[in-house]
Structure 1
Amino acid sequence: MQILEPQKFASWNEPIEMLYACHGKVKRFCRQLTILPDYLAKNGCNQAVKNDVQQILNYFNQSAPLHHDDEEKDFFPLLVKYVPEAQKDIDELERQHVTLHDSWTKLSEQLQALLKDERENIDVELINHFVSGYDKHIALEEPLFELGKQHLSESELREIGDIMSARRRVQS
């Protein structure tokens, strides 16, 4: 079930590239989620599936909320200083963060039950709702990353990169 693709390595010295890297992981895990129901129907819940599901759970339980904090607490407030017209999209993205977290809560309950052998499948509609929510979200958000590259200074980027890095050290 593993889907491999070349990875571009980014560092906290390039916080916008790190935001893009997070989206790359979201996309990869969403692709895994979309193939999960058919895989389960054909192969059952084997150890390989459980390993992949655990990685997906870890990412969306830990890394995704940190990514949303990076955006809401650091990137968006700085960007809107230079591009005030981005506020409308930022407001929508922040609403979407809440919706994505709610969708994830429902989906993660089923994934946890799968790991505990309490269920044999995952609701396809839940997966589709979650994945389509992220598809729309990323499509709206990534143009703001590009605006950040255009408008934020190297020192501002370095500063928010340091904050984002520190956020993860506190969580570990």
Structure 2
Amino acid sequence: MLNLSAQQFASWEQPIEMLYACHNKVKHFCHQLSILPNYLAEYGCNQAVKNDVQQILTYFNQSAPLHHQDEEEDFFPALLKKVPQVRSEIAKLAIQHSLLHQTWEKLSVQLRELLANQRTDIDAELINKFIASYEQHIAIEEPLFELGKQYLSIEELTNMGKVMFARRCVK
């Protein structure tokens, strides 16, 4: 059965929905990471694992940094102008972005080694740390998305979406 949610059809004309859609992908890929150590122990590193790992690497190497850039350069500053009382949450989120990238760097090394047949397992503790960090991060961030829906104008959101889209265009 297909699970068609509104976020699957988000466009850059609705940048907050795109931010939510990115979080849905993060949750999906974190779930895949959570089952990876046990799967590897039982079945080894087969082609299905390699395909999934490549998708995970691609997402967290390319899309996740762009998502964080969208937030730090576009969404957070716009929201701060309208709702300055969220300054401490935004400061915390920016620090978390940096920590998430650091944890990802360590994890991505292991995933690349797995793809290159240089290892047969993945550090489950590192995966759990990465997932827990994202869960905490999303729990702080998504309420800010809701504030953005309340306080940012259609014009601000439209302009934000254009900038976010342009960031992804091939140069």
Q: TM-score, normalised by structure 2?
A: 0.96
Tell me the equivalent position of 1:112. 112
Query: Within 1, Cα distance between the matches of 2:3 and 2:77?
Result: 32
Unaligned runs of 5+ in 1: none
| Aligned amino acid, residue 105 of structure 1 | E
Tell me the equivalent position of 1:92. 92
| Aligned amino acid, residue 121 of structure 2 | N
| Aligned amino acid, residue 10 of structure 2 | A
| Aligned amino acid, residue 69 of structure 1 | Q
Deviation per CA, 1:56-97: give whole Å up to 9, x if none.
000000000000000000000000000000110000000000
CA 1:5–1:53 in 2, change beyond 3 Å: closer, same or farther? farther
Tell me the equivalent position of 1:74. 74
Which range is displaced more, 42-51 or 4-13?
4-13
Deviation per CA, 1:127-161: give whole Å up to 9, x if none.
00000000000000000000000000000000000
What displacement does 1:5 show?
5.1
Query: Within 2, Cα distance between the matches of 1:110 and 1:5?
Result: 32
Matched-pair identity in %: 64
Query: Within 2, Cα distance between the matches of 1:101 and 1:139?
Result: 18
The 3-state SS of whatever aligns with 2:9 is coil
Check if 1:19 corresponds to 2:19. yes
Query: Within 2, Cα distance between the matches of 1:104 and 1:29?
Result: 13
Matches for 1:44-55 after TM superposition, within 5 Å: 44-55=44-55
Query: Within 2, Cα distance between the matches of 1:5 and 1:49?
Result: 23
Tell me the equivalent position of 1:32. 32
Deviation per CA, 1:85-139: give whole Å up to 9, x if none.
0110000000000000000000000000000000000000000000000000000
Query: Within 2, Cα distance between the matches of 1:23 and 1:6?
Result: 16
Matches for 1:161-172 after TM superposition, within 5 Å: 161-170=161-170
Q: TM-score, normalised by structure 1?
A: 0.95
